[in-house]
């Protein structure tokens, strides 16, 4: 039996090429949920189209700072020979945490231009469409 999704669960769509995580904003009915993804979109999906992934905590990223001259051009040393690690002055590993539901609502409300804290439990007709 598949676990039932509840508010604030971390989910992602299944069978897609680009995985975008998000949080469940509200459960609309027995098989439909509204969720907000990290790309600032408010989505309505069937529970069978989503995967529960509460073990996801965030993503790692690497910031590279290069040796540059006064004009901002990268300085290529004599021993470069297409080895990019010689060009880096500093490499910073950064961890970006999964945003909270409150932060996702703030971003989505600004980006989409519609209130994510809507009191009406029934979504608008234009947001009730599903991907085929």
Give the integer Cα–Cα distance in Å for 12 and 43: 11
The domain segmentation of the chain, as residue ranges, is 1-56+98-123, 58-97
pLDDT digit string, tens, across residues 36-53:
999 888 889 999 999 998
Give the integer Cα–Cα distance in Å for 65 and 93: 11
Q: What is the CATH number of domain 1-56+98-123?
A: 2.30.30.140
Q: What is the pLDDT of residue 72?
A: 83
pLDDT digit string, tens, across residues 47-74:
999 999 888 899 999 988 888 888 888 8
The list of the chain residues with pLDDT below 70 reads: 1-3, 79, 118-132
Q: Which residue has the tokens 């234009």?
A: 126
Which of 52, 55, 57, 41 shows the shortest CA–CA distance to 97? 57
Other residues' Cβ atoms within 10 Å of the Cβ of residue 86: 13
């Amino acid at each position: 039996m598949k676990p039932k999704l509840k508010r604030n669960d971390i989910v992602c769509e299944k069978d897609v090429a680009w995985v975008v995580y998000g949080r469940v904003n509200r459960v609309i009915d027995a098989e439909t949920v509204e969720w907000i993804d990290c790309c600032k979109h408010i989505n309505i999906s069937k529970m069978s189209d989503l995967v529960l992934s509460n073990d996801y905590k965030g993503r790692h990223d690497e910031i590279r700072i290069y040796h540059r001259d006064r004009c901002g051009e990268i300085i290529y040393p004599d021993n470069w020979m297409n080895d990019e690690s010689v060009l880096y002055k500093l490499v910073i590993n950064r961890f970006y945490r999964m945003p909270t539901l409150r932060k996702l609502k703030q971003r989505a409300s600004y980006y989409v231009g519609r209130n994510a804290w809507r009191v009406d439990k029934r979504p608008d007709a234009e947001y009730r469409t599903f991907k085929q």
